[in-house]
Amino acid sequence: MPTFDLDETRAWSGLEVFDHTGDRVGRLSAIYADTADHEPRFGLVRTGLFGLRSVLVPLEGAFEEGGALILDLERHLIKGAPHLRREEPLAPEAEAELYSHYGMEVPTTSSGQPRLELMQLEHAD
């Protein structure tokens, strides 16, 4: 898994999101980090005509360019992702479904608790 600069990642909130071919997907509204290492793993993207639907997308391979976030994914895969209510906590079953949708290995935990949590985007002083 890549390591992202946290200040850079915090600055991604609000960016327009595009797939790797340049098709617009939506706007990044939040970032979810792994509870074990606090690394950003997924971004919450508001999609649809009015941004009423939100999906989580893996940040692996993502980069910022020209004020936009470019994902290493195809739009149809993102659009088919499980929905998420805006900034809601993730149940372990929802995480498993998310990882499965993107063909990613589900990290194991001894507690059975979710591994992803909403990352605070405000800078801590």
**Three-state DSSP class for residue 105:** coil
C-beta of residue 31 within 8 angstroms of C-beta of residue 87 = no
Q: What is the pLDDT of residues 14-33, one digit of tens each?
A: 999 999 999 999 999 889 88
pTM: 0.84
Please tell me what DSSP assigns to residue 21: T
**Three-state DSSP class for residue 46:** strand
Question: 117 is written with which tokens?
Answer: 């949590």
Q: Is the pLDDT of residue 118 over 80?
A: yes
10 Å Cβ neighbour count for 64?
Answer: 13
- Mean pLDDT over 93-115 rounds to 81
